Structure 1
């Protein structure tokens, strides 16, 4: 019996009490009830505080409601015992057969175990990374690559239709500085004062010269345009390749420049004007964001007729909504924290709901440590540590897992020495090793001709029960990770599950020894092992990390 199934049983019990006239709930019976694993042994398999939550509405005290509900639940299928504790907590023990059935359900569901309809019918635009095409992706962008892609997988698992989108910043002064830096490198001149340095600039400049050996014979202005067009394309192709090699691919690459060339900015301003939220002052067009919670109104079109930076944001947001997305999630670095207020005000100015139609997630800093010292410089980029530096140091799996393992609103220090180790103090090794160990056992079972079978009533050992309850938690963990935008919840769950499995294996022999006869208990435990492999593989898949069969 999973927590979701137990929740349904409790709801059915409440419904029965209402229909019998024993309980009055003016707001109706809740559609679901929170069920948790108790922290202390001896408090049953699951606990709920539903009696405390509903007692006031029902006009009774929690303990009395708890006793009524407990009596009702004791007659339900799959319930072994129900105790009322303290002011009205219900501690529930599930029958071994009902609990053991979870293993068969997991194996039957396979790759779909953990899926739900929590976000069914929602179209979500997930914009992340969106690094400027002026250099390799730095470590902050790599964090969003890992977290964003994992979140996309989790949203999909919970029923959403997800579009991964990369906003290609190919409009503005940073592109001018990039192309000027390429031109200077090609001519052998020093890097411009506000330009970009690093070996990659010289590599791209050399590649452009190989393609266009005539370019330096052009005037500087015309030559810089060549370096802009060709160099941006080269840098962006390299960014896309690095992300692909990291296991991250996007559905849409949206060009900022297109917003300004297509008239999208004018359409956005016109829409806001119709809504009465733009005005003109000092020759400029302003968006009245202060009335929507921003600290001041913002210029949209400057007095010289050029679009301010916000103009592109307005057009881009409206474009996403017109493409039919219910939720627009944008992942930004810590240096964009001050940007949140104006973006939420912009959303409200369009008549939308901040936090629902537009949500901005801020990711904090990532610091890499090697040999006890901060790692700050890239051999190739010169100024920042890049995605390729991280992958070279610890590999794709460890990098993705390490970056997704922590809540994105916390700073993290990644010890590269630890994450490169094949030892149990390395979290990704711990989880992957558990999967490999499970796979090895299943391979040995196949060699012995032992087949798994469902005998849930035989899984009565304490460690079997703990493992079954842990496996049953996975769907709830996935849903919580989606609702709270926290892929790290999946990672931490997997680490706990790996430890739980090892303790089960150490206490419960799965395969027969020597000439020992194969029993139904062996077969039942083998099914439990199969269920464990399914959950470990599904969880690692949500993080974009491989589930190896050998290590």
Structure 2
């Protein structure tokens, strides 16, 4: 269940409570769901009970308790916990493998994109420093993936090399931070990342948390398992190679049950939640680390995707190929949001 679908589900719960006479309020046009804040739990949280408390003439916790059973009767929701003054914390059920893969195939590179921030204008401003500007660029991409209207600004032009090599662009140059805007100010890079090239430089600046000092060195260029960027891009390239090899053998992906792939399925199912959290917390490193988790869950699947020897392609092979295709799609979509290329050959 995507954040958009969950928002609609919460609205349906409010409408049912009103129809059954448990609440006497006007049903809102939309409800915001977001990753839970400190003290919360589950996959998503909403403050709809606090919004409805005054018009309903009831305490927010009571409104939340009225809505809770309506949500629990909805397919796809595993648990609902009321915390604090009346926040509804919602845990989702894991999607069936075939349904999850079909959803990823349907959405393509936009899997995990949502409109939970639709109608919100977010102004981002960065100092004239390379890491801050790369973070600014990626945060704008992630926020837009969740429906926000984003405007970016910097005190001075990014400079030709930062634009040409790193692909950094800003909407407005000069002036201070706009009222109500967000200042993007991660710990500055300790050295010039431009010699690493666009992909490795962006990864070096984005993978560490904003409050951590990034490492700028040639280890981001080495083609080995110790390099997280290499693992992510290699996992993507392997999934594309499997699709080519399967086509040569005359079979195509077809979603279905896959045994022994729960870590990968869970990582793929988490992708929309991770994008929402990265947007909510202004933390592109969450997406980078998530892509590493997806990539690290891919290798156990790979040996069983293609038939061996005289073995004929079966439904199990097609289902595993579809799952590998979905994993590659998520990796490519996530790298695209980070402004990093996802090559089919590596």
Fold match by TM threshold 0.5: yes
**Structure 2 CA distance, aligned partners of 1:481 and 1:475?**
10
Which of 521, 528, 535 pairs up with 2:323?
528
CA offset digits 1:1-25 (Å, max 9, x no partner): 446545644653564355334x548
Q: Is the 8 A contact 1:435 1:536 kept in 2?
A: yes
- Aligned-residue CA RMSD in angstroms? 3.9
Question: C-alpha deviations, 1:167-201, integer Å up to 9, x for none?
Answer: 448xxxxxxxxxxxxxxxxxxxxxxxxxxxxxxxx
Match of 2:111 in 1: 113
Q: Is the 8 A contact 2:246 2:306 kept in 1?
A: yes
Structure 1 CA distance for aligned equivalents of residues 224 and 162 of structure 2? 28
Match of 1:471 in 2: 268
Q: Which runs of 5+ in 2 are unaligned?
A: 37-41, 51-57
- Return the alpha-carbon distance in structure 2 between the equivalents of residues 523 and 531 of structure 1: 12
- Would you say the 8 A contact 1:431–1:498 is kept in 2? yes
Question: Separation in 1 of the partners of 2:113 and 2:300?
Answer: 27
The offset of 1:412, in angstroms, is: 0.6
Q: 1:118 to 1:105 in 2, by over 3 A?
A: same
Deviations along 1:62-120, one digit per CA (max 9) or x if unpaired, are 6x986x457734xx4x67xx578999988664563xx5312122222223223222443
Inter-partner Cα distance in structure 2 for 1:155 and 1:541: 14
CA 1:515/1:11 → structure 2, altered by over 3 Å: closer, same or farther? Answer: farther
CA contact (8 A) 1:6 1:35 kept: no
Q: Give the direction of change, closer, same or farther, for the CA distance of 1:544–1:94 in structure 2 (3 Å limit).
A: closer
Could you give the per-residue CA deviations for residues 9-55 of structure 1, whole angstroms, max 9, x where no partner exists? 4653564355334x54879688355688xxxxxxxxx767889x889
The CA deviation string for residues 186-231 of structure 1, in whole angstroms up to 9 with x for no partner, is: xxxxxxxxxxxxxxxxxxxxxxxxxxxxxxxxxxxxxxxxxxxxxx
- Note if 1:397 corresponds to 2:199: yes
From the superposition, tell whether residues 114 and 18 of structure 1 become closer, same or farther in structure 2 (CA, over 3 Å).
Answer: same
Number of residue pairs matched by the alignment? 328
Structure 1 residue aligned with 2:60? 57
Q: Is the 8 A contact 2:34 2:276 kept in 1?
A: no
Structure 2 counterparts to residues 427-438 of structure 1, below 5 A: 427-438=228-239
- After superposition, the Cα gap between the structure-2 partners of 1:90 and 1:548, relative to the gap in structure 1 and judged at 3 Å, is closer
Q: Is the CA contact 2:126–2:184 (under 8 Å) kept in the aligned structure 1? A: no
Radius of gyration: which is bigger? Answer: 1
Q: Within 2, Cα distance between the matches of 1:439 and 1:454?
A: 16
**Alpha-carbon distance, 1:503 to partner:** 3.9
Change (3 A) 1:439 1:244: same
What TM-score do you get using the length of structure 1 for normalisation? Answer: 0.50
8 Å Cα contact 1:120/1:160 also seen in 2: yes
Gaps of 5+ in 1: 37-45, 131-140, 170-235, 257-315, 318-329, 331-346, 348-353, 368-384
CA distance in 2, matches of 1:4, 1:525: 28
* Corresponding residue of 2:167: 247
Partner of 1:499: 296
- Contact 1:3–1:35 (CA under 8 A) maintained in structure 2: no
Q: Alignment partner of 1:106: what SS?
A: helix
Query: How far apart, in 2, do the equivalents of 1:159 and 1:365 lie?
Result: 29
- Asked whether the 8 Å contact 2:154–2:170 carries over to 1, the reply is yes
Contact 2:332 2:342 in 1 (8 A): yes
Q: Which residue of 1 aligns with 2:209?
A: 407
Aligned equivalents of 1:61 and 1:128: distance in 2? 39
**DSSP 3-state at the match of 1:526:** helix
> CA offsets per residue over residues 391-412 of structure 1, 9 Å max, x none?
32x333121111012232x141
> Partners of 2:279 and 2:63 in 1: how far apart?
36
Match of 1:101 among 99, 102, 126: 99
Q: Pairwise mapping of residues 200-349 of structure 1 onto structure 2 (< 5 A)? A: 239-251=159-171, 254=173, 316=175, 330=177
1:421 is displaced (CA, Å) by 2.6
* Distance change in 2, residues 1:360/1:91 (3 Å): closer
1:3·1:472 contact (CA, 8 Å) conserved in 2?
Answer: no
Tell me the TM-score normalized by structure 2: 0.76
CA contact (8 A) 1:13 1:72 kept: no
Q: CA separation of 1:543/1:9 partners in 2, compared to 1, >3 Å: closer, same or farther?
A: same
Q: How does 1:144-183 map to 2 (within 5 A)?
A: 144-168=132-156
